[in-house]
Structure 1
């Protein structure tokens, strides 16, 4: 019996302090653990400054929803009396589908346009960069293809086949469109400058990957309406 106790002592000497650390780490060290398929949404309950009127996302340590999220792993110093952490599932876009993005904050979309200009922001996973680079509020030109994304839902809503009906869309519209070998596809665009008087279709615009890069299409002078290509 004594030999068994001696053999267990090193294990218990490590196990119990570790157990106590885990139990008390959250209130004492502000420990937050984010799972592999989660993203941590941070709300700062109070700060020296609040958000300016009309602002939704904090970029400079103000109180409110923070632009930066928590990645999988252990995070310290997020004390519950100062922060509220919400764990949200990652966004998954299946093969053969696309995801549409709507931004809840940003600059206004210019008159005459329907969609926000595409911003390089790690596929909308970097909310801070989106806002600092002039991202526009509303439906976005950029879209998400098949993959897993850590999106801040305080700033972005992603419309997928799973939630299309809640946003007034047909889930079939979020499938990758395929044109059979013996068919042709006629394209009509809903954004861009009006077609010039006397023309019935917009001119051919290069380098937009068969209308899959909406920003390249518009930046190249794409017109709204029936397309010649």
Structure 2
């Protein structure tokens, strides 16, 4: 009986080697794709981190400018109380530009900010100076405010020409025998805070005295 041919035994290792070589090529390609995906993910993560840091910095910077603007609000209110230049109601019936005060409503932009605050040219054209500006050389912040009475004209305030506040009864039926509650005019304070790189923040409030 003849023995079986042996050439199959010699070809088997060659066949396996070819399969192993092919598998090694596929693994290399998969590894390259994995590395590319990891590299793209790493770049995206770094960029996301940088954007988060930038956003956090901008929010903190804006918050600081808002806090700085409170100094302008306090200065404006202080000028209308105690020994301030605008304490007298008679004085407030006319413009007092040395205190950044107007006795009538000023023109505003679409956001309700008086146009005199929008730029230095409008400020100077309105006859205002920098004497009342609050400056901080350390933080490089400049605070400027303007006060205008919400009246259509100068002179004595009245319900016909002014927006007025009321200190009337807080509820129930008004007592006709009591004196009529005062109706003081409403004043508007607008503040502009200018920080480094010409960054600006605007604040605004209204009040009656």
Greater share of strand:
1
Instruction: Provide the TM-score with structure 2 as the length reference.
Output: 0.29
Instruction: Provide the TM-score with structure 1 as the length reference.
Output: 0.27
Q: Which has the higher contact order (CA 8 A, sep 6+)?
A: 2
